[in-house]
Amino acid sequence: MAYDDLRSFLRALEREGDLKRIKVEVDPYLEVGEIVDRVQKAKGPALLFENVKGSAMPLAMNVFGTERRLSKALGLKSPDDIAEKIGGLLKPELPQGFTGFRDAFGKLASMAHVPPRNVKSADAPVHEVVLTGDDVDLERLPALFTWPLDGGSFFNLGLTHTKDPDSGVRNLGLYRLQRHDKRTIGMHWQIHKDSRNHAAVAARRGEKLPVAIAFGCPPAVTYAATAPLPGDIDEYLFAGFVAGERVRMVDCKTVPLQVPADAEVVLEGWLEPGELLPEGPFGDHTGFYTPQEPFPALTIDCVTTRRRPLLQSIVVGRPPTEDGPLGKFTERFFLPLLKVIIPDIVDYDLPEAGGFHNCVIVSIDKKYPKHAQKVMHAIWGAHMMSLTKLIIVVDADCDVHDYQEVAWRALGNVDYSRDLSVVEGPVDHLDHASYQQFWGGKAGIDATRKLPEEGYTRDGGWPEMVASDPETAARVTRRWKEYGL
């Protein structure tokens, strides 16, 4: 089953021995980050820090730190469960492109278990405590100063809600949030993000933008906030689809937005046009510090919580981190969508070491000359896949998740004077390697077998790969115990 709220999931993990309570006092300045980073890299348990210095609020960390835990949180055996459902949803009408994907999800609106449902404030646990005016104090919340050169303390798992001022379409995004003072937080809205566009529209209209930030949400909602959905697909519809049940929503107290009724903490405020403060540096998921830049500064007018709330956060930095399972689930979930847009694709892999956007390994059933190059350019034109810096194309008989196999193909099957494509295009806002911000060089490597029509005219054609004789291999398998090995 999927879990209705964070605390019920934590109880389930504790029953299984997969949650560790830390009862001694810990310092959110560097100490918590060091503990969590070590536990993450060891594939250790979820952590609940019960005594965080300077805060009465417990802090849940490493909650989605393994694929097993994330699967359990979403009520799945594996991410392939949802991939199969998405694939089945897309197949009957053969929709084309993102419009078809949106329409396919739109059909689910008539299914009782998918669209979010509204509840009254009295039935929303997150409205058990309401703080306004002088009672608002963000310093009571355990923000993390994770790495030595960070520019301050950050909330790293706040789910940010905004609406397009023109269309009214809402967006749920996940952005780091720097705590500037008791009532102000920095909104790290990168150039490609929907919330940044909403703020720009509001500023153009001379209006304030309502913002709500929820912490400790139901696991399916938290996952949906990380998924790179097209802008016109409601993340709460997707969360309901993943969890197999409707998400309970409640109207905010002071802004015209809705948030999960079963969240732990919600911050509400209005963003004034042009209100900017220096944000960062920050040790980000790239493993490098991102520089200080001016970003919108949001004033918090209202905080709502449960009676005994807890906060959820993550530590990012040099991989592997908790980003790993989240990124791998997105990779699997969206394979059917990518196949709709680019039917040539057999499978793909987004290496965590590449931050899930710097590199794509893709396999194809090659049918004609320059088929690999066609797929490269299709990927660079596919929504947020446009940020990919390196694409490696291999044949269908290559396991894209076996990096040893992929390296063997990429290192052995390539004539770099012919099989390397170099282009320029958009890159991630956080990319530090590009010589100017937001765009830079990209490369595609054709590691497929080469055809005579592509100019490979050597005698005998493309060579066969070395492989065992099937009959001998079967005989050796049968006799293996006889060898005493």
Which of the residues are catalytic? Answer: 284
Q: What are phi and psi of 401, to 5 degrees?
A: -90, -5
Calculate ∠ Cα 24-28-29, nearest 5°: 125
Contacts of 158 (CB under 8 A, 6+ apart): 174, 175, 177, 213, 214, 215, 267
Binning the chain into helix, strand and coil, the percentages to the nearest 5 are 30, 25, 45
The rounded distance, in Å, linking the Cα atoms of 212 and 159 is 8
The answer to whether residues 152 and 145 touch, using CB atoms and an 8 Å cutoff, is yes
Reading the block at residue 188, the tokens are 């790290």
Q: Which amino acid is at 324?
A: G
The rounded distance, in Å, linking the Cα atoms of 89 and 91 is 6
DSSP SS3 for 305: strand
End-to-end distance of the chain based on CA atoms, in angstroms?
44
Look up residue 209 and give its DSSP letter. Answer: E
Question: Around Cβ 245, how many Cβ atoms within 10 Å?
Answer: 19
